[in-house]
Structure 1
Amino acid sequence: MRTISQKLILFLSKNQKLKYFFNTSILLLVFYWIYKNVLIKKNKNKNNNHDDHVNQKIQNIQENQKTTTQNIQNKRNEDTTTTKNYFKLSNDIKIHVLSTPEECDLILNEFYQSLLLKMVDDKNSPPMIDGADGVIINQQQTTTELLLFPNCNEINNDGLDFIIGFDAEWGNPNSIFDDKIDDKTTKTHYNHKVALIQLSSKNETFLIQVSQMEKIPISLEQILTDPRLIKVGVAVSQDAATIFQTFSVVTKGYVDLVPIARLTNYEGNGLASLALNVMNVTLNKSNKIRCGHWENKKLSNDQIHYAAADAWVGREIFEIMFNTYKNSKTDPNDKKDLVYTLCRQFTGASFKSINKLKNRENNNNGNNNDNTNNKPIKENMLKKTVPDKRVLYDNCLMYSPDDVLLSSISKKKVEWYVSRQLADIIKEEPLSIKLKFQPHGEGHSGDQFYLASKENICVVCGSTHKILRHSMVPHCYRQYLPEEIKSHSSHDVILVCCDCHAILDKKNQIMKMIISQQYNVPIDNENKQFITDHTLLKITQIASIVKNNFYSTGNNNNISEDNLIKGNKKCKKNIPDEKLEEMKKIVMEYIGKEEINVEDLDEILKLNPKQKNENYIPHEKKVIDKVLAMGEKGIFEFIRSWRKNFVESVQPKFLPEHWSIDKVVCCDNGHRKPKDQRQKQIQNQE
């Protein structure tokens, strides 16, 4: 063996190439052995560990997916069935699901009439049915009283019987659902925005499926438009707006619970949070039910209980918060008509700051410290211009030579007659004068409203601070009425304080939209009132820039030192001289001169690019033209609608005696009365 090795070494030493090949082969064999026995085993172990990690991770993901799927399934099962943790209406509360107008009128009309009976103060006074509207009224009540919030007494549970839970559910306008008619399934498109309207009293809830009706039933419209019935809920203003957009029915007397909750120190911005904090109950707000198909012809049991609970709980929350508010009052006089006092300040309003609510509450309690920082700018400016104590009614009396009371006048008018020796003072208290001549007309003789004494207080809240005259028919409409209607007619001009005036301005904007729809006259855009000359507008802008930088052009030969305008240095830096020269040439071309001076620029700046459109007819004039075309009846109905809007909006408690919504609009400038009426007044005075 040794001999062979020696021979091999000797052979390789003689052949260098073969020796190199042999050594290389040995190295390759060594590397191959190392790779196979060391590296491969190591990588194999590493890959095995990695595969185990990946498998473990996949297994964990699969387990998590199973857990998530199980949780979702459990959640769905909880949503579809009312668990004991969710609030459920008592069996004593009756739920009415009304899907046809006939069924709705039958049930709701009975409910509405029962509420009207509770509005009668005198238990022995028999009610009377108004044939025109089918409404129960008291024979001694006037139309004005029928719109005012009734007195709270034991008959109506201190006014709580007039509190109605209110809510609405919306459907998808683009939804298509199956409708089975005579065993035939057809595809029906839903065209309404409001699908369901919920109303609730203490013991009953009404679910009206308006999606199945062409229009809102009469009984439902009566309840929604009656300002004496307070509809409470959360975000009710949005529901009311959607009902108006869908059915053109104006919901009146709605109150949001959130500002009342802040006033009574309860937390919550939604119905569910208020129910939890006020009633300590949990409402089922499952998305599957809440965002379900409310436009379906047949509602599921879960939908019925969900909708009924929302309306009933809203009313119950109000009653609890009202009792809290009532207990905070120590003066028995403050507890009179407390439901009205609480609701009036929040009707149709939305407040975001608890400080504003408490400030308003303090003002109602007699603290007249004005927190002007919390008031709108317009209201603050109005308060600054209106004196604190004003006497707008002097209640002076004027008699004719034959002792007929003609009218109630001001002290200024008394001084005018006496200073010209046209009348003599016949009484000091109240200050009365007697004319020395026979007037052409008989004034307001026989009209109890104009002859009665009037108080200098706000007719809404009774305040005596910063009162001013307010026209029920806004000036924008009133200015186009005939002069014989406006002159010597103060029936529709009443006294209000600045706060109530601001509220009325907002309410009038809503009424203006209703008038626009009623008379089919759209509200105009301000741009239509004026015609803009865009070329002149551009020239005036350029002239203004040139004037402020004129000295920088270097051409001041025609300008004296007194007429030089000290340029705006900031503008001078931003506008190059070359650009100013171009602007100057544009102005010179416009006026047709080779040179310009400051006077020329001033003349250009005096020009108004906006000119009044001579063909423009304001929205208000178009409305009044249509009203006048209807004759005296049209004028009366127009003015009456604004009177009704005033009463329904602010529920005034201090209206002058003999004021009436149905007061006839006098179109006779002389205000003459029949002779028999004059003789009757003389006999009464005797």
Structure 2
Amino acid sequence: MELDTKFKVFITSTTLIVGSASFVYLISKFNKRCRNAIDALNYLTIVTVTKESECNIVVGELRRRCKFHRAVGFDCEWVTEHGKKRPVALVQLSTFDGYCGLFRLNLLQTVPNSLKELLNDVNIYKVGVAPSDDAKYLQADYNINLKSTLDVRHLAVLCRHHPGGLGSLSKSLLNIILDKSWRVRCSNWEADTLTDAQVKYAAADAHVAIKIFVKLIDKLNKPSKWSMLLGTKGSKDVWNNLDDVCMKFADFYFKVSHALRGIDAVNNPKRIKEVSKTYSNLTRTKPLYHNCFLQAPDGELLCTCDNKKALWYVQKQLADVVTEEPLTVRLRFEPAGRSVGEVGRYYQLTKENKCVVCGNNNSYIRKNVVPREYRKYFPDIMKDHSSHDVLLLCAPCHQRSNVTDQRVRDQLASLCAAPLCNRDSSKYVEDSMQKKARSAARALLNPFATLPAWRRTELERLLLHYYQHDEITTELLQEAADLQVLFENQDYESHGLKVVEFFLEGEGGLLALEEMWRKHFLRSMQPKYMPELWSTKHNEERLRVKYNEGRLNEEQLKAIGVTVSDFSEQYEVIPFGNSN
């Protein structure tokens, strides 16, 4: 009898434990279920701004509420007509606690100073997905200089989380499903009054961005397993040292290929080698400089080079190997020129494989001191021996250098009347609505496609809306399937080309533009480990040597915007002020 009682107690206890565990599991599963944004974000306070007086109040409230996180969620909306983007119509800003300001720039006569100052404040990060693109549009449309933008995908990669769009990050990190239907996304953001769906859509995008930002920073702030076991606090508090994490990503473009490579470094090391072959500007761990020696037929040293170049001469039977360690190759033919003066000796010196700014020698990225967007328009005589302007930087220094370069681009854009990012900045423009119609028609015509009924209905509605027809016919589908979506942009103007043309007409020509970029690099980065004999006037000295040897004529000098007399006179570089 006593045994039966104990057995019953054991069964009851076990049932209670199992039941409790099941209950906890169900609660956990319930909390992790994905909810749509309307339900999940029903606590938001959304204020739509159409007047300057309202703007000042809302900006003040945003500043007050973001003091701890020092960040606001940020996004923009605009209208696209016939493939052409109109000026930004709406700027969305949100704090972590759910206060959202929707600033309708198309209805404001001027952009209020309070909003400009907030967007220009370097101490408050404007977080989102691809915020740098929106910053370019605001600069082009309203001359707003947006600072401290931060793409949350940088932090996602830092937390070893796969970087996706705002929708996928929201779903995976917050369990919130954003409404990304084209009906709202491509709706009229310049309407006199925004619909309830538009307001909630716009606020959700900005608020989810700041939620993702805080979630990822908190993840970085989480103590390690070892610190928890040892009872210590672990790493320093990220929120009190936010700039240590965020500053290196501020105003820096997120490149998906680089990010995927970083994730693959942990999960799939073999993938790194495959990607490196495709993207030459990725972080490299192998040395760039092999410091092989290339000699003239009489044994005079011409330059140092890499293994591949040296062995190419040998394989083509144009040279012989003199020594294998260090690899020294002697040419069988007389080269076009020899090393003359300090400019020639620069190419004879061995180079170190380390960051020229801080000395880091673990990994590095090649830095083009004169950006390719300008150099690609230079004549060939200036592009020869371009290795002088290719330096090694570690990833953090490379990012910082790119940020400082943007300031010089802005100055050049103003000086040379060469807009960086006008709304027609692409050589070809794409009609987004025609592309959607074409894709829909091709999907409906595809005999092998197994479309769900709801998807087929959605595609048919899109086509009916585009053509303003009442029914879908075979002729309509065929016409839509053949729609042209890419058109040559008649208003296209290349920023780099306009800058090059401007300097060609100015004193010093392209040599002045080149020297300006080199001086900017030295001034802004203050490198401690520059190659010996590296010079801001390198090309001027090199071309003077070629001219004195009779290997350069006046026509070639004219192609770079200088005359013979320029080589005997010192010219002044156009001042751009402090680039730090």
TM-score range, shorter chain: 0.3 to 0.5
TM-score scaled by structure 1?
Answer: 0.38
TM-score scaled by structure 2?
Answer: 0.44
